Amino acid sequence: MKPFEGKRVLITGGTGSLGKTLVRRILSGEMGDPEKLIIFSRDEAKQHFMRVEYQNRIAATDEIIYHNFQQKLEFRIGDVRDYSSIASVMPGVDFVINAAAMKQVPTCEYFPYEAIITNVMGAENIVRAIQEHHLSVDTVVGVSTDKACKPVNVMGMTKAVQERVFIQANMRCPGTRFVCTRYGNVLASRGSVIPLFHEQIRNGGPVTVTTPEMTRFLLSLQDAVSLVFDAIKGAQRGETWVPRAPSSLVTNIAKALIGDRDIQIIYTGIRPGEKTHEIMISEEEAYRTVDRGKYYGIVPMLPEVSGDEVFTSARTGEYSSAEDVMTLKETEQLLRDRKLMLEDASPREVEILR
């Protein structure tokens, strides 16, 4: 099954860590050869660097922006916060992956309304464009986060509402399937803990960990992309897909990266809005969680969307990173397998964080 074959795919926030990995995987052809892949974002500098990279240009010149609309990989400056902006790029699009987000927890706490405009109104603008212009969009994927589950910070609160906007959109736009994907912190993505630990180790330490008990799911950018792709292939309307992922003590992540180096770990205390354990399925969602193979699927609570499907709950309680925590040795092996040890990851970090 190759759903993107001959189709037009739009990625909002396409110059972010996830967006760039999505682009590489889509262009590999594993989901089919798309007619057009549109990168929609508001950062012209990131678009410029990405365009140079994909055109294999050693020296960037003004000319590389021309013929943009004739290329398979098309770059569009715009903002999901602006209805007219997103509405102008969507006609003719078959698939939308909404990766545009304000995702830094402290930033959202200091600028909560800005987070609302991006994370909630951005989703509403996508839905509104499809509804008001009667667009023939096949599928919209809302990229969400574990922080939307039992949210304790603004980022999570706005992402939780975004999920509900997309789920209810199945009623407003019956010709389009809206689904969500929810996952935890992504290893080595911009702003994540591994690049921080690497930098602290390079500087001789200490490595800072919030609490000894803190756990996190260990997901890579590739895992996140696979989740999006598999949801496009198999999710029912209104479902939220969650990966079955390994988890580790953050202390063990630090120890694995430090290795034999004489570097101290210090504990700084939990930060405002931070949880000790990531939670991807709440107790309240457990009864409507179904088995989707490598994933859990959370069935929408709206009967108009979920329909008359009879299902067996796949869980009896919440799904958190405190469940089935790996040992230090297992954590180290996973990081080695994914080439995230300090000696492996430096060039990758430079590319991701650019």
Query: Would strands 265-267 and 207-209 be described as parallel, antiparallel, or unpaired?
Result: parallel
Does the annotation count 36 as an active-site position? no
Angle at 262 between CA 258 and CA 268, to 5 degrees: 65
Alpha-carbon gap, residue 213 to 209, rounded angstroms: 10
**8 Å CB contact between 180 and 327:** no
Alpha-carbon gap, residue 203 to 325, rounded angstroms: 29
Active-site residue, from 147, 150, 329, 339: 147
Alpha-carbon gap, residue 104 to 55, rounded angstroms: 31
Residues 6+ apart with CB under 8 A from 306: 238, 288, 299, 300
Q: What are phi and psi for residue 186, nearest 5 degrees?
A: -100, 125
Residues 6+ apart with CB under 8 A from 323: 247
Distance of CA 267 to CAs 215, 254, 322, 337, Å?
Answer: 14, 12, 19, 27
Active-site positions read 147
